[in-house]
Structure 1
């Protein structure tokens, strides 16, 4: 293999190490999103938010697994493995484009869906003993629907870190945001990470796809020359 082929081989190997890191980060990020919204699992309107988190988690696992295929194909100079890697990488590339476009286009709609979820949890807090609302307030460090004033003058223990006799004091809840704004802030932050970090991952994947195709083609050509 000439110098150009060796260069492509090791650059592809380095890219796949980056993919392993990206895959791990996506798995962690997707898991964090799932853990943040797990308290909504009993409400139908959360399907959209859950689906985004699950897609991220699945993509992270796929990228992590495919990276090993790319590493093995590059180091062993296996044209079949490199071709398979290129096809799978192209599929992942297209899936991530679809995910980013979906989040970008439906960002507001997803946030509105989450607002409906929070409103329903707030409305059902008395009939369900407030379990979902308490879980939401503890996980997001919020209090009430729009703020602590929604509870009047008695604040539940889930609104603060150190309740006294099952209730929180005014000073411990007055700086906590309402749960609707806390959920909106959580989604806005996660959506920006999905969009802008995803674009960076797409650029790396595109370069790796091109390099894998070139290396696979050069490996096949070398095998043909050896047969003559």
Structure 2
């Protein structure tokens, strides 16, 4: 049964309005990806790029959504079945990508603590220049020290408290001339950050993973409506031509 002109116009403009909303959602994905990427980039050294892959994929998806939304708007206004079906197929591909990102983020979130603990232990054992730069970054940014606390640095350096990185030191106890911790050996427990970095980084990354999961999956299911509207309008136009 053919749709009336009024019904077809209603679907067409509903699809057009949906694409405007879809355009805004693409901007949301783009912003969420950039915010998360900027926040977790400092931890990338310890996670071999796995931590930056989901937000980068979300940024790419957000950019693709912009292009696809314009195609959907144009196809709806021109009443072109081929453009509408192309829009629906591309929307389906984006939907699958977003679900994959959400699943990857959930899996990564579940394994995060073990991965972090292993990588930080390896890095602490190596103590290369790159490792120590990365440690200094997260210890200052997260106000933490070692894996579980400053005792880790003390133990791995055979009881040498002076080997504890100055980045573990609370700001008020840093010697501004040498940038070392003042009298770290006798008083390091009071002058160092007491929280371990595994717990701090885990909480930060897990919080960002929730953002990716919520934004990615939430917008993905909204797209089902767009696919249905595009297919419905394309079918109605074909029947009348």
**If the length of structure 2 is used for normalisation, what is the TM-score?**
0.75
Q: Does the CA-based 8 Å contact 2:12-2:76 persist in structure 1?
A: yes
Q: Does the CA-based 8 Å contact 1:5-1:215 persist in structure 2?
A: yes
Residue of structure 2 in register with 1:53 after alignment:
55
Q: CA offset at residue 127 of structure 1?
A: 5.0
Aligned length: 221
Residue 19 of structure 1, aligned match among 18, 22, 46: 22
Rg larger in structure: 2
Residue of structure 2 in register with 1:156 after alignment:
166
Query: How many Å separate the matches in 2 of 1:213 and 1:55?
Result: 27
For structure 2, the 5+ residue unaligned runs are: 155-160, 183-187
Residue of structure 2 in register with 1:4 after alignment:
7
Q: CA offset at residue 220 of structure 1?
A: 2.6
How far does the alpha carbon of each residue in 1:189-228 deviate from its partner, in whole angstroms, 9 at most, with x for none? 1222233333321221000110011112222333x1xxxx
SS at match of 1:143: coil
Residue 201 of structure 2, aligned match among 180, 183, 198: 183
Q: Does the CA-based 8 Å contact 2:26-2:66 persist in structure 1?
A: yes
Q: CA offset at residue 183 of structure 1?
A: 1.4
How far does the alpha carbon of each residue in 1:135-193 deviate from its partner, in whole angstroms, 9 at most, with x for none? 2224434333323555667762475567541246888864x742211211122212222
SS at match of 1:14: helix
Q: CA offset at residue 128 of structure 1?
A: 4.4
When the two chains are superposed, the root-mean-square deviation of aligned CA atoms in Å is: 3.0
Residue of structure 2 in register with 1:30 after alignment:
33
SS at match of 1:19: helix
Q: Does the CA-based 8 Å contact 1:15-1:204 persist in structure 2?
A: no
For structure 1, the 5+ residue unaligned runs are: none
SS at match of 2:48: helix
Give runs of aligned pairs for residues 60-99 of structure 1, distance below 5 A: 60-99=62-101
Residue 214 of structure 1, aligned match among 220, 223, 232: 232
Query: How many Å separate the matches in 2 of 1:144 and 1:184?
Result: 14
Q: Tell me whether 192-201 or 120-129 shows the greater mean CA deviation.
A: 120-129
Task: Note closer, same or farther for the CA distance 1:71–1:115 as it changes in structure 2 (3 Å cut).
Answer: farther
Q: Does the CA-based 8 Å contact 1:70-1:85 persist in structure 2?
A: yes
Q: Does the CA-based 8 Å contact 1:36-1:139 persist in structure 2?
A: no
Query: How many Å separate the matches in 2 of 1:64 and 1:210?
Result: 19
